[in-house]
Amino acid sequence: MSLPQVDIPLGAMRFNSDSQKLEYWNGSAWFQIKTFSPNLDGGVRGLFGGGETPSSPNRTDTIDFITISTAGNATDFGNLSASRALMGGCADRTRGLFLGGRTAPGGHSEVIDFVTISSTGNASDFGDLTQSRSRTSGFNNSTRGVRAGGEPFTDTMDFGTIQSAGNFIDFGNLVSSRREVMTAASPTRGIIACGQDPSSGNQGVNIIEFVTTATTGNTSDFGDATRTRRGGAGCSNSVRAVFGTGYIAPAPSNTASSELDYITIATLGNAVNFGDLIYDRLETYAAVANDTRGVFGGGYTGSAYVNTLDYIQIMTTGNGVDFGDLSQVRGGGGGFSNGNGGLG
């Protein structure tokens, strides 16, 4: 006698005690997420580095960290090699990279700094990007980091192996030149969403693109965000990407947003509304994640820089909840975690 078929909701998760793996239901089968193991240093860490500040010289070299599973204020980690803002970030399970950034008004950097995520201390030189860029973003799989877009406007992507210091090399191109894109990833795919496109009069766009991170090449179409936006942030586990906030109206009206979208990374299609963060932001500093929780940090509201940290449960739609505060008010920095995209 066959057992009755049980309806399993799409995205349901379970821990398989036989294989010691976390799995999710993709609609037809259970899909492995990762091998279960305690993470380094008691939990997955999220790091927030650099950023724009309200006081001169309007840049900081401060790096903060949080343990994503435990709400509370950020703690001092160390310092970047120089004060920078508007960077990208990427990481594997042990090492994180801060990518490029703005060194002064109108100045852009090609510098890549690295840190060992489990050990507090100052950043060290890793190498250089292929171009000097700020207002850029990064994503990763378990071994490779990729930088996408930036200012001056570019459609380029470059990449490096996170454990091997050296200069990044060409990966491919976006569908158009953009800055202030939002990125996320699974173990196999990188997601590049929205951003500011000069061909549209410097407005935000609603494009979502993807790449296979382990290969090289140009992006492919994924779908559309719920609205045009730029200047926000994104994070992900291995199943779902959540991104949003930022400018949601054509420049220069600069309407701030608290809205978040989400997608299932393995399934092409348009984004769906997720919920809202606590505050509207024109810029969100950065977002970090572990397997279950995403944390959005800092930003600029249009009138003030903030140090707020909000968190969400990635697999459950809803509004952001207070997590704690960064060590200082700031916007436009860079961030990463050793759990984003299913690493942790």
For 126-142, the pLDDT digits (tens) are 999 999 999 999 999 99
> Do 19 and 55 reside in the same domain of the chain?
no
> Do 98 and 116 reside in the same domain of the chain?
yes
> Do 17 and 74 reside in the same domain of the chain?
no
**Residue 143 pLDDT exceeds 50:** yes
- For residue 39, give the 3-state DSSP assignment: coil
Tokens of 167: 């200069």
> Do 295 and 223 reside in the same domain of the chain?
yes
Percent above pLDDT 70 for the chain: 88
Under the banding of pLDDT at 50, 70 and 90, the label for residue 235 is very high
Note every long-range contact of 11-20, with CB atoms under 8 Å and residues 24 or more positions apart, other chains counting: 11/239, 11/240, 11/264, 11/315, 13/315
293 forms beta bridges with 313
CA 329 to CA 297: how far, in whole Å?
A: 10
In the prediction, which pLDDT does 38 show? 38
In the prediction, which pLDDT does 126 show? 98
> Do 150 and 204 reside in the same domain of the chain?
yes
| CA angle, 216 then 98 then 138, to 5° | 35
In the prediction, which pLDDT does 37 show? 44
> Do 28 and 61 reside in the same domain of the chain?
no
In the prediction, which pLDDT does 343 show? 81
What is the CB-side half-sphere exposure of residue 184 using CA atoms within 13 A? 32
**Residue 313 pLDDT exceeds 50:** yes
**Residue 66 pLDDT exceeds 90:** yes
16-35 average pLDDT score: 63
Inter-residue contact 336 to 47 (CB < 8 Å) = yes
Inter-residue contact 326 to 64 (CB < 8 Å) = yes
Higher-confidence position of 295 and 41: 295
In the prediction, which pLDDT does 33 show? 61
> Do 9 and 134 reside in the same domain of the chain?
no
Higher-confidence position of 209 and 204: 209
CA 214 to CA 45: how far, in whole Å?
A: 24
> Do 323 and 224 reside in the same domain of the chain?
yes
Q: Which of 5-9, 35-39, 182-186 has the lowest mean pLDDT?
A: 35-39
Q: Which domain holds residue 26?
A: 1-37
89-103 average pLDDT score: 97
Average model confidence (pLDDT) across the chain: 90
Assign residue 196 the CATH number of its domain: 2.120.10.80
In the prediction, which pLDDT does 26 show? 65
In the prediction, which pLDDT does 40 show? 42
**Residue 213 pLDDT exceeds 50:** yes
In the prediction, which pLDDT does 21 show? 61
Phi, psi of 290 (to 5 degrees): -115, -160
CA 136 to CA 159: how far, in whole Å?
A: 13
Please state the domain count of the chain: 2
> Do 273 and 240 reside in the same domain of the chain?
yes
**Residue 254 pLDDT exceeds 70:** no
44-54 average pLDDT score: 96
- Which residue's structure tokens are 């991104």? 243
Q: Which of 39-48, 59-68, 69-78, 205-214 has the lowest mean pLDDT?
A: 39-48
- Which residue's structure tokens are 């942030």? 233
> Do 204 and 333 reside in the same domain of the chain?
yes
pTM for this entry? 0.88
Tokens of 264: 């299932």
> Do 288 and 148 reside in the same domain of the chain?
yes
> Do 153 and 195 reside in the same domain of the chain?
yes
